[in-house]
Amino acid sequence: MSAGASGVVRHGMARLVLLPLAAYGLAFALLTHPLLARFSTHYFADDGDGLQNVWNLWWVNKAVTELHQSPWRTPYLHAPDGTSLIGHTLNPLNGLVAIPLVRVVSLVEAHNGIVVGAFVTGGLTAFWLAYWMAGSVAGSLVAGFVFTFSNYHFAHAQGHLQLVSLEWIPLFMLCWLALLARPTPAMGLAAAATLLLVILCDYYYFFYCVIAAVVTGIWHSVRVRDPLALLRPPLRRPLAVFLAAAAPTSGALAIALVLANAADPLAGSHPTTELSLDLLAPLIPGGHWRYRDWTQFYWLNLPGTIHESSVHLGLAVLGMMAFVWRRRRTLAVEALAPWFLLVVVFGVLSLGPVLHVGGHAIGGAVLPYAWLERLVPPLRLSGVPVRMMVMVTLAAGVLCAAGVKAVLSAGPWRRWVLLPWLALLWFEYLPFPIPTTRIEPPPYVEALRRAPRHEALIDTAADAERDLYYQTVHEKPLCFGYVSRLPASVVREGKVKEALFRRRRFDVLCQRYGVAYIVANRHDDPVAGTAAAGVLFEDADVRVYDLGPCPDRSAEFHRNVEARFE
């Protein structure tokens, strides 16, 4: 490589990689200050679903590096038969990323590094997408900011690590749109690879990317005035490569989810009507805005949780989108129409099956999301239409890039308009602090870790999320376990176990289900007085009972797991 070419590469690297990384890293530090001071001591998540995602990281590492098995099934929850995790919010890609990290840093630091990395790289990939479309560094920096520091993103930083990891969506859209514009087999492979990264974080995002690909594919056919454009050269071969690569990767995972649900229906879907977009939510800051007390008159009346309803786009963003729409015929930016189309498609679908305004259902009109559920029955597994706003936010960011480019090219005096606009954008995007959680496992967890037998445990002293977290320390199988979506057969078996526990049939739990340890609260002890139970540990708060050696089912179980997985 010549000196001149090397300089161009270095300049491009600095402008298109280092600059946005530095900008978004600094913005994250400022927006969340003093969060980073707790990087090594507190999980950047709540003590609910946040702890479940910590367990996810631990489990993927254990499954891959120690047990050498698929992470999509675990014998460590709902022992002794275990449970499928195909419908669980496992986000295995983050678990794979954590494997090398936990070799050099703590689990806390690995988790927090993934959270911070998702925000910074989410901005970076949105920057690349906007730069490919608009060709403006300044505008693309704004696009990445709008996408990654959105109300939506900070709301899910509460504890939904799978949804925090949205950085692969812009990268897939970039590869897909580049495939349509300049089709090559290599770009087909790139689009399939990025789609796999998407589904390894979240099924919702995979489905949204598929919808976006279909919408933009149809738009391409309309633009070239050929309904069969995707089947003709030069797109035919690159799209065939994309489909051939996507089918056994992301496609196989999606099909596995559908088949698993058909064979053993998954319980745990969300109520659609409670988790749909309220029509005013993009306009009014929600419960994850820094000054949320100013708007609680609105968001307190919304159904569901603030972690789902906080999808505020902001007046600055909406105003810039209106400016771009008004100037769409004169702006020196190609292909604006598909982004407006994506705003409309995903904005309407996010409203759910029935329109809601101010927290109240309006009329009995059936919206397109209800039709989509009929067309794609597996969609009923989700029940959270409002999450489609992530695609609206991405499209809005790209349109803002076009608007900023137009303003900057309009003349020196007009550029000053951007300063108050950027100030408004920053103000509207100030987030409510990300929760942090520090957990010091109680002494009984260490006692369980030292217990010699690897048998199942029932912990009545901890809630479901802490039960999972404590397992990352003691590593004993749990008789139950908090899983996002459980197969119906596991739910039924769990009810049998619960009934046996209520009836104090600990002998049956030991013999049939391999339950050797029970943790009981000293103030509400269901095991006290049971002659067959010895005490492994006790303090002022809890007592850990040892029911004695249980029949060894581990070898049989692992054979069954391997057979089912093969």
pLDDT above 70 covers what percent of the chain? Answer: 94
Asked whether the beta carbons of 132 and 178 are under 8 A apart, the reply is yes
Higher local confidence (pLDDT), 6 or 358: 358
Tokens coding 251? 């496609």
Q: At 271, is the pLDDT very low, low, confident or very high (cuts 50, 70, 90)?
A: confident
Nearest alpha carbon to residue 339 among 126, 531, 93: 126
Q: What is the pTM of this model?
A: 0.94
- State how far the Cα of 128 lies from the Cα of 124, in Å rounded to an integer: 6
Q: Is residue 437 predicted with pLDDT exceeding 90? A: yes
- State how far the Cα of 32 lies from the Cα of 36, in Å rounded to an integer: 8
Q: Is residue 178 predicted with pLDDT exceeding 60? A: yes
Pairing between β-strand 515-521 and β-strand 456-459 as defined by DSSP bridges: parallel
The mean pLDDT value for 160-169 works out to 98
DSSP label at residue 287: T
Tokens coding 525? 């002890």
Q: Mean pLDDT: which of 8-17, 30-39, 299-308 is highest? A: 30-39
Higher local confidence (pLDDT), 164 or 522: 164
Asked whether the beta carbons of 253 and 199 are under 8 A apart, the reply is yes
The mean pLDDT value for 499-506 works out to 93
Which residues does 172 contact at the CB level (< 8 Å), separation at least 6?
A: 191, 194, 195, 197, 198, 209
φ/ψ of residue 77, rounded to 5:
-120, 145
The mean pLDDT value for 460-465 works out to 95
The mean pLDDT value for 170-184 works out to 97
Q: What is the pLDDT of residues 521-553, one digit of tens each?
A: 988 888 887 656 789 999 999 999 999 888 765
**pLDDT on residue 60:** 98
Asked whether the beta carbons of 406 and 331 are under 8 A apart, the reply is yes
The mean pLDDT value for 7-28 works out to 85
Q: Is residue 5 predicted with pLDDT exceeding 60? A: no
Q: At 362, is the pLDDT very low, low, confident or very high (cuts 50, 70, 90)?
A: confident
Q: Is residue 243 predicted with pLDDT exceeding 50? A: yes
Tokens coding 184? 């090559």
**pLDDT on residue 334:** 62
Q: Is residue 199 predicted with pLDDT exceeding 90? A: yes
**pLDDT on residue 45:** 97
Tokens coding 94? 């983050």
Q: What is the pLDDT of residues 87-144, one digit of tens each?
A: 999 999 999 999 999 999 999 999 999 999 999 999 999 999 999 999 999 999 999 9
Task: Count, in order, helices (H) and strands (E) of the chain.
Answer: 26, 10
Q: If you average pLDDT over every residue of the chain, what do you get? A: 92
The mean pLDDT value for 197-226 works out to 96
The mean pLDDT value for 450-463 works out to 94
Q: Is residue 357 predicted with pLDDT exceeding 70? A: yes
φ/ψ of residue 95, rounded to 5:
-65, -40
Q: In what order do the strands lie in the sheet with 542-546?
A: 456-459, 515-521, 542-546, 534-538
Q: Is residue 42 predicted with pLDDT exceeding 80? A: yes
**pLDDT on residue 229:** 93
**pLDDT on residue 524:** 85
Asked whether the beta carbons of 461 and 441 are under 8 A apart, the reply is no
Nearest alpha carbon to residue 123 among 28, 11, 5: 28
**pLDDT on residue 499:** 96
Q: What is the pLDDT of residues 337-348, one digit of tens each?
A: 999 999 999 999
Backbone dihedral region of 286: left (phi > 0), alpha (psi from -120 to 50 degrees) or beta? beta
Q: Is residue 517 predicted with pLDDT exceeding 60? A: yes
In sign, the C-alpha dihedral spanning 178, 179, 180, 185 is positive
**pLDDT on residue 129:** 97
**pLDDT on residue 290:** 97
The mean pLDDT value for 181-197 works out to 97
**pLDDT on residue 11:** 61
Nearest alpha carbon to residue 126 among 277, 15, 24, 213: 24
**pLDDT on residue 553:** 57
Q: What angle do CA 180, 185, 190 make, to 5 degrees?
A: 75
Which amino acid type is present at position 226? D
Tokens coding 196? 């796999």
**pLDDT on residue 2:** 46
Q: Is residue 557 predicted with pLDDT exceeding 70? A: no
**pLDDT on residue 565:** 34
DSSP label at residue 525: -
Which amino acid type is present at position 261? N
Cα distances (angstroms) measured from residue 273 to each of 75, 84, 388 = 35, 28, 14
The mean pLDDT value for 202-230 works out to 95
Higher local confidence (pLDDT), 269 or 543: 543
Tokens coding 65? 């590096």
Which neighbouring-strand residues pair with 361? 356
Q: Is residue 207 predicted with pLDDT exceeding 80? A: yes
Nearest alpha carbon to residue 129 among 467, 514, 395: 395
Which residues does 523 contact at the CB level (< 8 Å), separation at least 6?
A: none
CA Rg value for the chain: 26
The mean pLDDT value for 441-456 works out to 95
φ/ψ of residue 378, rounded to 5:
-60, -15
